[in-house]
């Protein structure tokens, strides 16, 4: 659900305003209204510096070896540390590019060995020329040595590299490619390349040691964030009575109202409150139960709802769990996901624990659908006697196919029901009639074609649904406007629902593909058991672990991505979700978090 917000407006005398803002920042509850004020040049510079802090901190956290800063380095200011790391990053990248260029030069010079470029130049001045040639080893003609003063330098990668020494610089009739003389010998290039790599290693070691600066940089980043936040609030303050009165507006969650108003009354600040109006961009704060809260990060990947919308997290959460289990559909894989999540929860940070709790639920759904599809680690459970008591719930491929379509139809109707309720709540009952008509019509058509319970009565429901869709497509329009829009909407509804239902076939397809891959892995590994004494069982274990590990990773990725697609495209669309909400971000002191 979305936490209700109340708007607070303040009138503060300019002499008390800075103290008031610091108290407000310490309270950390009010999301200040953004008046879209242009940031000052100083603020722009601070924001750029903040981005630099964030980038460098992320970079240093990627270094695994913790180091110790020297006594001299430890006295440096955070900005000096930042500048030094940035300069070394630029030098590091430049050296890497130069080293890569030298490697290319070295590979070109290597076949010619160690020679003196200066000596070759001096000989040329005396009329003695050394020319460089290369030819495929098979095409090298030994007779050339009888015609010219020729010396083979090296045989490398199937190519013959040789030089010809001559008194003049006339053309030579040899079927080989003449090469330009390297600017330096291979050894000279190698020395410079090694020097670059030595300096690169020094910088890398400095970066590793610089991880000890992380607390200093993180503290400086928080201080800078506080400054920027404070400045933004000041810039978004209105001024009245010749700048003597400061006007500030902000949004407060209803669950912090009493605490906040007690704080204001204790300090004698004047304020008044108001409810949100439809045209205001109210920040959104979600509050869900323990189960639905686990799925909030998934919903946030798409968008937050606007303040006037419904929070769809508790509605899509069980469906997402269901879809994941359908796609993975293996008891063995589900057990691995559950056990791995439970074990890892003991070792990870508090921030990651909810993700692993989500993993437990997704693993349980996988186990459930593993029983329904009759698959455990790629084996058919119907052939295993131990699973006889649960065989009654197992479905064949055809039944699973129809189950995927049935689940899709139910979720689409569920989404349309949410859309009808949301329209009724926001605009009134008549705005929901068109959506209600879609639901009635869909159910009536299903009864006429598949269920066949109501018989001809369903036909009357079809007529009713057509009337609701056509004449209440948009209550704001006149009769002819409604008629035209309704007929146009009707075409989109028929093709849209049909296409949406077919999208759910992916649930069956992914589950089937995962099961087939598991079966193939087993068919490859099982013969290894009796193939070679001792080595056979070892190979069996290796193939099973590697094969099923890869299949689990692949199936896990597909089982996450495709349910997310069904949620964001099919379900959100049919539920009438618009999104684009702004997250609730209170003005607070970040150093105290």
pLDDT at 458: 86
Same domain assignment for residues 164 and 120: yes
pLDDT at 591: 62
Tell me how crowded residue 392 is: count the other CB atoms within 10 A of its CB.
Answer: 6
pLDDT at 75: 63
Nearest to 567 by CA among 302, 357, 308: 302
Q: Is residue 298 part of a domain?
A: no
pLDDT at 220: 86
pLDDT at 186: 86
pLDDT in tens, the chain (593 residues): 899 999 998 888 888 888 888 888 888 889 888 887 788 888 888 888 889 888 888 888 877 554 444 433 556 788 888 888 889 989 999 999 999 889 888 888 889 888 888 888 899 888 899 999 999 999 999 888 888 899 999 998 889 999 999 988 788 888 899 888 888 888 888 888 899 999 999 888 888 877 778 888 888 888 888 888 888 888 888 887 777 788 888 999 988 888 888 888 887 778 888 888 878 889 999 999 999 999 999 999 899 998 888 999 999 999 999 999 999 999 999 999 999 999 999 888 888 899 999 999 999 999 999 999 999 988 889 888 888 888 899 999 999 999 999 999 999 999 999 999 988 888 888 888 888 988 898 898 888 888 888 888 889 888 898 888 888 877 777 777 777 777 777 777 777 788 888 899 999 999 899 888 999 998 988 888 877 887 888 888 999 999 999 999 999 999 999 999 999 989 998 898 888 889 999 988 776 55
Q: Is residue 481 part of a domain?
A: yes
Q: In which region does residue 113 sit, left (phi positive, over 0), alpha (psi from -120 to 50) or beta (all else)?
A: left
Q: Which two tokens stand for residue 571?
A: 């379900």
Looking at residue 285, what DSSP letter applies? -
Domain encompassing residue 196: 38-104+188-234
Nearest to 288 by CA among 299, 296, 280: 296
Q: Is residue 593 part of a domain?
A: no
Same domain assignment for residues 440 and 477: yes
Same domain assignment for residues 315 and 421: no
Question: How would you classify the pairing of strands 245-253 and 31-32?
Answer: antiparallel
Same domain assignment for residues 215 and 83: yes
Quote the CA–CA distance of 366 and 364 in Å, as a whole number. Answer: 5
Same domain assignment for residues 310 and 385: yes
Same domain assignment for residues 411 and 496: yes
Q: Where does 236-280 have alpha helices with state H?
A: 257-267
84-89: long-range contacts at Cβ-Cβ below 8 A with a sequence spacing of 24 or more? Answer: 85/56, 85/59, 85/60, 85/207, 85/210, 86/52, 86/56, 88/203, 88/206, 88/207, 89/59
Q: Is residue 165 part of a domain?
A: yes
Burial class (CB in 10 A: 0-12, 13-18, 19+), 343: exposed
| pTM metric for this prediction | 0.76
Q: Which two tokens stand for residue 315?
A: 């509605």
Let me know: does 134 contact 160? Beta carbons within 8 Å.
yes
| Torsion angle (degrees, nearest 10) of CA 247, 251, 255, 260 | -20
Q: Is residue 589 part of a domain?
A: no
Quote the CA–CA distance of 111 and 108 in Å, as a whole number. Answer: 7
Same domain assignment for residues 69 and 207: yes
Look at the block and give the residue holding tokens 């409810």.
275
Q: Which two tokens stand for residue 300?
A: 């946030």
Q: Is residue 421 part of a domain?
A: yes
Question: How would you classify the pairing of strands 582-583 and 283-284?
Answer: parallel
DSSP 295-335: THHHHHTT-PPPTTS---HHHHHHHHHHHHHHHH--HHHHH
Q: Is residue 81 part of a domain?
A: yes
Q: Which two tokens stand for residue 5?
A: 């917000």
Same domain assignment for residues 6 and 29: yes
- Domain count within the chain: 5
Quote the CA–CA distance of 283 and 273 in Å, as a whole number. Answer: 16
Looking at residue 75, what DSSP letter applies? T
Same domain assignment for residues 357 and 243: no
Same domain assignment for residues 227 and 273: no
In SS3 terms, 439-501 reads as: HHHHHHHHHHHHHCCCCCHHHHHHHHHHHHHHHCCCCCCCHHHHHHHHHHHHHHHHHHHHHHH
List all residues 6 or more positions away from 590 whose beta carbon is below 8 Å from its beta carbon: 222, 225, 226, 229
Same domain assignment for residues 240 and 316: no
Q: Is residue 442 part of a domain?
A: yes
List all residues 6 or more positions away from 433 whose beta carbon is below 8 Å from its beta carbon: 468, 472
Q: Where does 110-162 have alpha helices with state H?
A: 117-125, 144-147
Q: Which two tokens stand for residue 445?
A: 């058509």
Same domain assignment for residues 97 and 204: yes
Tell me how crowded residue 216 is: count the other CB atoms within 10 A of its CB.
Answer: 16
């Amino acid at each position: 659900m979305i936490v209700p917000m109340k708007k607070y407006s303040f009138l503060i005398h300019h002499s008390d305003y800075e103290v008031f803002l610091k108290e407000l920042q310490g309270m950390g509850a009010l999301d200040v209204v953004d008046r879209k004020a242009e940031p000052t040049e100083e603020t722009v510079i601070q924001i750029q510096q903040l981005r630099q802090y964030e980038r460098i901190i992320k970079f240093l956290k990627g270094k695994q070896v913790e180091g110790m800063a020297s006594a001299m380095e430890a006295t440096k200011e955070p900005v000096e540390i930042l500048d030094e790391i940035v300069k070394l990053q630029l030098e590091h990248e430049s050296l890497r590019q130069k080293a890569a260029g030298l490697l290319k030069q070295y590979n070109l010079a290597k076949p010619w060995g160690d020679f003196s470029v200066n000596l070759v130049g001096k000989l040329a001045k005396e009329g003695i020329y050394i020319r460089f040639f290369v030819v495929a080893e098979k095409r090298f003609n030994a007779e050339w040595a009888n015609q010219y003063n020729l010396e083979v330098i090296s045989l490398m990668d199937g190519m013959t590299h040789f030089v010809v020494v001559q008194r003049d610089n006339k053309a030579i009739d040899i079927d080989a490619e003449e090469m330009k003389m390297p600017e330096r010998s291979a050894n000279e290039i190698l020395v410079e390349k090694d020097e670059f790599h030595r300096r690169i290693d020094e910088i890398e070691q400095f970066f590793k040691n610089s991880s000890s600066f992380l607390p200093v940089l993180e503290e400086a980043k928080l201080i800078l964030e506080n400054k920027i936040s404070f400045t933004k609030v000041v810039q978004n303050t209105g001024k009245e009575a010749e700048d003597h009165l400061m006007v500030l507006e902000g949004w407060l969650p209803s669950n912090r109202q009493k605490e906040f108003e007690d704080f204001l009354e204790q300090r004698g600040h004047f304020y008044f409150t108001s409810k949100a109006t439809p045209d205001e961009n109210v920040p959104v704060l979600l509050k869900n139960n323990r189960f639905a809260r686990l799925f909030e990060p998934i919903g946030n990947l798409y968008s937050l709802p606007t303040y006037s919308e419904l929070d769809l997290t508790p509605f899509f959460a069980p469906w997402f769990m269901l879809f994941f289990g359908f796609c993975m559909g293996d008891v063995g894989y589900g057990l691995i996901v559950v056990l791995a999540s439970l074990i890892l929860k003991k070792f990870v940070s508090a921030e990651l624990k909810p993700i692993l709790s989500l993993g437990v639920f997704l693993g349980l759904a996988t186990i459930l659908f593993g029983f329904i599809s009759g698959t455990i680690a790629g084996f058919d459970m119907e052939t295993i006697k131990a699973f006889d008591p649960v065989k009654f719930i197992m479905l064949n491929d055809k039944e699973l196919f129809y189950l995927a379509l049935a689940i899709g139809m139910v979720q689409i109707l569920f989404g349309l029901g949410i859309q009808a309720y949301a329209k009724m709540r926001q605009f009134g009952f008549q705005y929901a009639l068109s959506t209600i008509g879609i639901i009635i019509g869909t159910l009536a058509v299903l009864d006429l074609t598949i269920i066949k319970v109501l018989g001809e009565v369903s036909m009357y429901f079809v007529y009713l649904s057509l009337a609701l869709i056509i004449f209440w497509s948009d209550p704001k329009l006149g009769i002819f406007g409604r008629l035209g829009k309704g007929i146009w909407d009707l075409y989109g509804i028929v093709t849209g629902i049909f296409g949406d239902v077919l999208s759910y076939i992916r649930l069956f397809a992914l589950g089937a593909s995962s099961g087939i891959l598991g079966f193939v892995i087993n068919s490859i590994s099982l013969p290894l058991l009796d193939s070679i004494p001792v080595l056979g069982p070892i190979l069996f274990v290796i193939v099973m672990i590697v094969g099923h590990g890869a299949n689990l990773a692949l199936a896990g990725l597909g089982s996450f991505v495709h349910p997310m697609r069904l949620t964001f495209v099919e379900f959100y669309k049919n539920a009438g979700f618009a999104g684009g909400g702004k997250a609730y971000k209170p003005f607070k002191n970040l150093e105290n978090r």
